[in-house]
Amino acid sequence: MSLLFNPIKIRSIIIKNRIFVSPMCQYSSETKDGVPNEWHLVHLGTRAIGGAGLVMAEATSVTPEGRISPYDLGLWNSKQADSFQPIVKFIEKYNSIPSIQLAHAGRKASRNKPWLGSNRLNIEEDGWDTVAPSSIPYDNNWQTPEELTKEAIANLISAFSKSAKYAADIGFKCIELHLAHGYLANQFLSPISNKRTDEYGGSLKNRSRFVIEVVKAVRKVIPDSIPLFARISVTEHVEGGWDTTDSIELSTTLKSEGVDLIDCSSGGNSPDQNLETFPGYQVPLASHVKKGADILTGAVGMINKPKQAEKILNDNHSDVVFIGRELLRNPYWPLDAKSELDGSTIWPGQYIRAIQ
């Protein structure tokens, strides 16, 4: 059997294959209150039926101000939690692991849906004031965020732990913290966006403090059986910015604090990033973190072909692959990949006539 379809056990969870649905914002909470709806059920449910081993729900904000757009999902109240429940149950029923990415967008919050332009939304357009470690906008014409006070930082750490508790209580079997792509946690980590002079800024240790405190707080409220993943931008592709060496040091600490897997992405914190994309462009980053920090890693980024995914695992660059856009194009990619790599696949009974 291929390695891609070799199950992997992380803590007490056995995942039937190593194809993980990469978290992807749907900007589809039309009620603008962070509540998931039929779109999310069908979207995530289809990828479970399609055979992915783990289905990760999109970046879900821990506070209203942490949403990228008013249409993002949130998990800060019981109405949101209740509405996630059928989605979790459906994913599990179809033999996949329901997982959720918890996030806060910081200075990159309060934007429009991408297909409406991703433009900045002001208060009168259902937007809100943004916050960040330092009062530095992402780019010209972006909102200037308010610098977080220490009290506000403490509140955010507790918001992450409250959301994680909701997630575990609803039945999510795995939680990922979004520490990447220039969102709040990444803003703390990077010397480009964090110019604080207190214990949350300055040295690598200080810039990592917020992230470590979030991890500690989350790990405290979720059962030991639940794997905790962290998505990081391994490098921000900017001279003098956060880089792979920093990521290896951070990942080593994260492992000691109970993080099980590093989901290795990159970039997103600076409009000046120098990033070229091509098939598997981020795989070396997963490989460096895996070897440097001796931790499970996930590779992500233009992994579109079954043999390509298999080779990444066989070459020991990562332990799993996260697949994004290819699973938007074809939610049944895992079923097709199984046929291609192992000679046959088991389609759901309901769809059996499609292959006869």
Q: Which residues are catalytic?
A: 183
Per-residue tokens: 171: 């039945």
Site for ligand FMN contains 59 (CB under 6 A):
yes
Segment lying near ligand FMN (by CB under 6 A), choices 161-169, 211-219, 297-305, 340-348: 297-305
Report the residue from 128, 324, 339, 340 that binds ligand FMN according to the rule CB under 6 A: 324
Strand locations in the chain, DSSP E?
8-10, 13-15, 19-21, 54-61, 97-103, 131-132, 146-147, 174-179, 228-233, 261-265, 296-300, 320-323
Q: Rounded to the nearest whole angstrom, what is the least distance from the CB of residue 355 to ligand FMN in the complex?
A: 25
Q: Rounded to the nearest whole angstrom, what is the least distance from the CB of residue 324 to ligand FMN in the complex?
A: 3
DSSP-assigned letter for residue 91: H
Cβ within 8 Å of residue 280, ≥6 positions away: 299, 301, 302, 303, 308, 312
Site for ligand FMN contains 266 (CB under 6 A):
no
Report the residue from 74, 301, 306, 331 that binds ligand FMN according to the rule CB under 6 A: 301
Which candidate, 116, 60, 55, places its Cα nearest to that of 90? Answer: 55
CA atoms within a 13 Å half-sphere pointing along the CA-CB vector of 194: 29
Cβ within 8 Å of residue 146, ≥6 positions away: 129, 130, 131, 132, 135
Question: Position of tokens 């993080």?
Answer: 259
Report the residue from 3, 13, 204, 302 that binds ligand FMN according to the rule CB under 6 A: 302
Report the residue from 325, 346, 351, 352 that binds ligand FMN according to the rule CB under 6 A: 325
Site for ligand FMN contains 163 (CB under 6 A):
no
Report the residue from 101, 134, 163, 247 that binds ligand FMN according to the rule CB under 6 A: 101
Residue count (the chain): 356
Site for ligand FMN contains 275 (CB under 6 A):
no
Closer by beta carbon to ligand FMN, 196 or else 287: 287
Closer by beta carbon to ligand FMN, 220 or else 325: 325
Site for ligand FMN contains 58 (CB under 6 A):
yes
Segment lying near ligand FMN (by CB under 6 A), choices 46-54, 115-123, 136-144, 175-183: 175-183
Q: How far out from the chain centre does Cα 251 lie?
A: 15
Binding site for ligand FMN (CB under 6 A): 22-25, 58-59, 101, 178, 180-181, 231, 265, 300-303, 323-326
